Amino acid sequence: MRVEFDRDTCIGMFQCVAEWGDGFEKDEDDGKADLVGGEEVGEDLFAVEVPEGEELDAKFAARSCPVDAIVVYDDDGEQLVP
């Protein structure tokens, strides 16, 4: 499972940090979240493989984001959330 995070879209409400504390961190200076271990795959777009056991948290984080800045894909590249 893979997560993509559009940091440009993020408005820093930090629900993702509450839902998936190992996956997202607060960047209070920027007023944005940071995807832990995320690799920059586009302009302000970050991606990471979800570690085993954290799949549910990652999905909850994506569901909780008010601006759909977090997208979860399965291993076949199919979009699961949102």
Distance, CA of 10 to CA of 75 (rounded, Å): 24
| Region near ligand SF4 per CB under 6 A, out of 12-20, 43-51, 52-60, 72-80 | 12-20
Asked if 8 and 70 count as a contact pair (C-beta separation under 8 A), the reply is no
H helix and E strand count, the chain: 2, 7
Q: Please tell me whether residue 56 binds ligand SF4 under the rule CB under 6 A.
A: no
Q: Please tell me whether residue 65 binds ligand SF4 under the rule CB under 6 A.
A: yes
Distance, CA of 13 to CA of 48 (rounded, Å): 21
**Per-residue x/- track, 21-40, ligand SF4 (CB under 6 A):** ---x--------x-------
Q: How far is the CB of 71 from ligand SF4 (least distance, A)?
A: 11
